[in-house]
Amino acid sequence: MVELEVSSLKKYFPVQKSFIERLLTRKKQFIRAVDGISFKIFNGQVFSLVGESGCGKTTTGRLVVRLEKPDEGKIVFEDKDITFAKEKELRPLRRKMQIIFQDPYASLNPRMRIGDTIAEPLIVHGIADKKEAKEEALKMLENVGLTPAHMFYKLLPHQLSGGQRQRVAIARAMILKPKFIVADEPVSMIDVSLRTSILKLIMKFKTLYNLSILFITHDLAVARLISDTIAVMYLGKIVEVASTEELIDNPMHPYTKALLSSVPSLFRRKREKVILKGEIANPINPPSGCRLHPRCPFAKSICSQEEPKLISYGNNHYVACHFPLLGKG
């Protein structure tokens, strides 16, 4: 069963201009953060979005749980079209859709005891009274490994380490027993030695609640550890999607290959490395045709003229490239 389906989703942010710039040009400019992406997340599965900084991952995550309003496209959650749903309609769904943010330092209220932070959603959603919520929060503290729970309940965020704070953020998201979560780089700001334990904790809840997860990361090695499917994003577009195994074993898009070339643990010795030229382009004025073409070592003239569509190459493997690197491992 499909938990979440996104079609041709777009979000453009207007560029803020200075007074002088406004005098010089009246033309409005937009950052094309998410520029027509489609994907499906099946029940109980982990779908990862991978790509460089600024490619639109967080914006996508915020759009699908409707913390951000889309400009175009469609978002269907559990068979309900929520693309332009009003806050009142979204309210009952908010319980089922949660988000875990990248920065555990910024996402918790610094003045609230962590136990109350975890209990709060139960009260806000009218699910429990104060006493019941406290009991549930204590159980949840145990569940996320912050024990003795009574002691942790009373602490403030600044008394915790980054890893512990992220456990609190996960507890707060999980107390509502959601069906779907967006995990936005949940381990990127955590000490490397603690990452695996945080990922394991997320996976424990996945099994417990049969969660579907949109997992956001810039790190293919992390995505590989926990995903069923991986989608690679570049400048607001999805350029390749496949099952994790298929994408790592048989990458076809030069951009995916370049990402893989930079991860030693995923790099196969017989593979040819793909090195891109220059830096990620400007999302205000993205390159014509294929957005990767100025950086791509395989680009030909068609690449600057025509935008490649996401095409199936069998085995549920989709690639948007005029010259996919077929059968080259």
Ligand X SMILES: Nc1ncnc2c1ncn2[C@@H]1O[C@H](COP(=O)(O)OP(=O)(O)OP(=O)(O)O)[C@@H](O)[C@H]1O
- 104 belongs to the binding site for ligand X (CB under 6 A): no
Segment interacting with ligand X (CB under 6 A) among 52-60, 82-90, 156-164, 259-267: 52-60
- 121 belongs to the binding site for ligand X (CB under 6 A): no
Taking CB under 6 A as the criterion, the residue among 57, 165, 237, 291 binding ligand X is 57
165 binds, among Mg ion, ligand X, none (CB under 5 to 8 A by kind): none
Pick from 67, 69, 70, 4: nearest CA to 36: 70
Give least dist CB 99 to ligand X, A. 13
The pair of structure tokens assigned to 289 is 């045709």
Give least dist CB 59 to ligand X, A. 3
Segment interacting with Mg ion (CB under 5 A) among 7-15, 52-60, 67-75, 144-152: 52-60
- 54 belongs to the binding site for ligand X (CB under 6 A): yes
Under 8 Å between Cβ of 162 and 105: yes
* String marking each residue 227-266 x if it binds ligand X according to CB under 6 A: ----------------------------------------
Helix axes 114-124, 162-174, angle to 10 degrees: 20
Under 8 Å between Cβ of 302 and 311: no
Give least dist CB 53 to Mg ion, A. 7
DSSP single-letter state for residue 162: H
The pair of structure tokens assigned to 190 is 């955590």
Give least dist CB 102 to Mg ion, A. 6
- 55 belongs to the binding site for ligand X (CB under 6 A): yes
* String marking each residue 120-159 x if it binds Mg ion according to CB under 5 A: ----------------------------------------
DSSP single-letter state for residue 172: H
Site residues for ligand X, 208-227, by CB under 6 A, read 218
| Cα(267)–Cα(257) distance, integer angstroms | 9
Under 8 Å between Cβ of 45 and 243: no
Give least dist CB 183 to ligand X, A. 13
* String marking each residue 167-186 x if it binds ligand X according to CB under 6 A: --------------------
Give least dist CB 270 to Mg ion, A. 34
- 33 belongs to the binding site for ligand X (CB under 6 A): yes
- 107 belongs to the binding site for ligand X (CB under 6 A): no
- 58 belongs to the binding site for Mg ion (CB under 5 A): yes
CA atoms within 13 A of residue 114's CA, in its CB half-sphere:
31
Taking CB under 6 A as the criterion, the residue among 2, 7, 10, 13 binding ligand X is 13
Q: What is the DSSP string of 220-243?
A: HHHHHHH-SEEEEEETTEEEEEEE
* Residues ≥6 apart with Cβ < 8 Å to 25: none
Site residues for ligand X, 276-315, by CB under 6 A, read 283
| Cβ neighbour number for residue 264 with a 10 Å cutoff | 7
The pair of structure tokens assigned to 61 is 């995550």
* Residues ≥6 apart with Cβ < 8 Å to 212: 3, 4, 41, 42, 43, 44, 45, 46, 47, 179, 180, 181
Under 8 Å between Cβ of 212 and 285: no
Amino acid identity, residue 66? R
Residue of this chain nearest to Mg ion (CB atom):
58
Give least dist CB 52 to Mg ion, A. 10
Taking CB under 6 A as the criterion, the residue among 5, 39, 56, 65 binding ligand X is 56
The pair of structure tokens assigned to 269 is 């010795």
Residues that bind ligand X (CB under 6 A): 13, 31, 33, 51, 53-59, 218, 283
